[in-house]
A and B are shown apart, each in its own frame.
Chain A
Amino acid sequence: MKFPMARTCPYQPPPEYAVLREAGPITKAQLFDGRMVWVVTGHAEARQLFSDARLSVDRSNPDYPRLAHSPVDPAAMKAVQTFVDMDEPEHATHRRMVVGSFTVRRTRALRPAIDADVEKLVTRLLVLGPPVDLFAELAVPLSAKVFARLFGVPAREAGRFHDLMRLAAERMTSGKALYQIQESFDRRITELAEGRAELADDLLSTLVAGPLKDGELTQKQLLNMCMTLLVSGHENTFNLIGLSTLTLLEHSEHRLVLRKDPTAAVEELLRYLSIADTVPRLAIAEIEIAGERIQPGDGVILPVAAANRDAGAFPDPDRLDLGRPARHHLAFGHGVHQCLGQHLVREVLEATVIGLFGRLPRLRLAVPMTEIPVRGAIGVQGISALPVSW
């Protein structure tokens, strides 16, 4: 069986995961290049492996498992490395430079602004009138607004930044729009560092006033860190908003639960959708787990969507149950690399579902479900259009 496989239904894991699960919590599958890797479908095993330092996240290692063909230039990859592909102890040093900007308190303080963003965008939907593409008119622009604020994009550049974020969302792999964003961040960092722009409490300012000034990061490293956060943050945010909305449209009987306990609903959506599904790791020492022996040099894939549908951790796992306790899901991973932006994405998703369904209770799909374009096997899962009416 070739791994990864594409979803057939955008909010269900690929049907082949059931076959993998049959073979045990840890089994083997083949990557596109013929390489055999471990695939972990058990929740307990995935949780344990996510926090095992014997699994490396260093993508610049030539032995690191690749899910698709991509040229590997270890030196070039090392040069742009950020904490997401660093092992300890470098990882902790770098991650700690930014965690202060993503605390529960800091992200909660952003909520009123996010609510206002949602309100503005929903008002705009009403002006446009049905049918509209919620992906293009809500998911992507909302993510753009959130990240403009996080990175302190000046008001005069906001229009251009939004256009570039829209282009980036259309083709996450095409680097042109991202390159232009990177250039504007680079200019901004220089302005802030040279005192030509005023420092505020956005992420660029924080990194310039701290690690850059103290010589802990070069400007290049700072820029790479910001681009990593922007790219993965944006991609995960718009995909999660799009797919969550679709899922709720297809399960309209749940709307009441959504209103009663939106916080629990958000956790269940995160579990159920598991959009950052296929996480690769490289074993750098022997690991014994579930009766198997993972050898150094082995590739290990953690398909989060499989772990999050393990009946041992979530009874009746394929049922969307917005009221269930789901906090122990692995949608954000586990261990020291657990998603940095998780509280921000929780706030954005909660604000979206409350704001959207609150104002448009009769929201429905404008096309049959089968016509919704599903993203491919590689990368963050989601849809690329969502035509709706009300």
Chain B
Amino acid sequence: MGVSANREVCVGAGQCVLAAPEVFDQDDDGLVVVTAPDHPDDAAVRDAVHLCPAGAISHA
């Protein structure tokens, strides 16, 4: 399954982009886009999961 993000609950805070820029980006509307869903569950992704204020990111 890998990294996924729920754009319904994303508030565009961009924490994920700061934490794991190789995995996340924000589109022109500011909402999260997963650019590397198969990225391994490393520290950066875990940081993003933890830091996302909306609980929008998961890794399974």
Binding site for B on A (CB under 8 A): 50-51, 92, 95-96, 98-105, 327-328, 333-340, 342-343
B51 touches A99 (CB 8 A): no
- A103 touching B30, Cβ below 8 Å: yes
State the B residues within 8 Å of A (CB): 9, 11-15, 17-19, 25-31, 47, 50-51, 53-55
Task: Known contacts A51-B53, A100-B30, A333-B53; decide if A105 and B11 are in contact (CB<8 Å).
Answer: no
In the complex the two chains form, is B54's CB within 8 Å of A105's CB?
Answer: no
Question: Are B29 and A96 interface neighbours, CB within 8 A?
Answer: yes
B25 in contact with A336 (CB, 8 Å): no
**Interfacial chain B residues near A328, Cβ < 8 Å:** 50-51
Q: Assuming A51-B55, A103-B17, A104-B18, is B30 touching A336 (CB within 8 A)?
A: no
B19 with A100: CB separation less than 8 A: no
Can you show 30 pairs from A to B with CB atoms below 8 A apart?
A50-B53, A92-B11, A95-B12, A96-B29, A99-B11, A100-B12, A100-B28, A100-B29, A100-B30, A102-B12, A102-B14, A102-B30, A103-B12, A103-B14, A103-B26, A103-B30, A104-B14, A104-B17, A104-B26, A105-B17, A105-B25, A327-B47, A328-B50, A333-B53, A335-B54, A337-B11, A338-B11, A338-B15, A340-B13, A343-B14
Closest to A108 in B: B17
Verify B28–A338 contact, CB threshold 8 A.
Answer: no
Nearest CB in chain A to that of B21: its residue: A104
Q: A96-B12, A103-B14, A327-B19 are in contact. Are A338 and B26 (CB under 8 A)?
A: no
Known: A104-B17, A327-B19, A343-B14. A99 touches B53 (CB 8 A): no
Assembly CA distance A104 to B27 (angstroms): 10
A100-B12, A104-B17, A338-B11 are known; give 19 further A-B pairs, CB within 8 A: A51-B53, A51-B54, A96-B31, A99-B11, A99-B31, A100-B27, A100-B28, A102-B14, A102-B30, A103-B14, A103-B17, A104-B18, A327-B18, A335-B54, A336-B54, A338-B15, A339-B13, A342-B14, A343-B14
Contacting residues, chain B, for A342 (C-beta < 8 A):
13-14
* Chain A: minimal CB distance from B48 (Å): 10
By a CB distance below 8 angstroms, the chain A residues around B12 are 95-96, 99-100, 102-103, 340
B-side contacts of A327, CB under 8 Å: 18-19, 47, 51
**When A and B form their complex, what is the total count of cross-chain residue pairs whose Cβ atoms lie within 8 Å?**
65
Residues in A neighbouring B47, C-beta threshold 8 A: 327
Bound Cα distance from A331 to B59, whole angstroms? 26
Contact A336–B29 (Cβ < 8 Å): no
Contact status B53-A334, CB under 8 Å = yes
A51 to B47, CA, bound (A): 17
Complex CA–CA separation, A307 to B30 (angstroms): 28
Task: Give 10 nearest A-B pairs by CB, closest first.
Answer: A99-B30, A99-B12, A338-B53, A103-B26, A100-B30, A104-B17, A104-B14, A100-B29, A336-B11, A338-B13
Chain B residues positioned under 8 Å from A343 (CB to CB): 14, 18
With a cutoff of 8 Å between Cβ atoms, the chain B residues found around residue A104 in the complex are 14, 17-18, 26
> Could you say which residues of chain A place their CB within 8 Å of the CB of B19?
327
Q: Report A270 CB to chain B, min CB distance, Å.
A: 13
Q: Most chain-B Cβ atoms within 10 A of its Cβ — which of A51, A98, A105, A340?
A: A105
Q: In angstroms, how far is the closest chain A Cβ from the Cβ of B7?
A: 10
Q: Which residues of A contact B27 (CB under 8 A)?
A: 100
Please state if B11 and A95 are interface contacts (CB–CB under 8 Å). yes
Interface centre among B13, B47, B55 (most CB of A within 10 A): B13
| B56 to A: closest C-beta gap in Å | 10
Contacts of B9 in A (CB 8 A): 336
Question: B residues within 8 A CB of A101?
Answer: 30
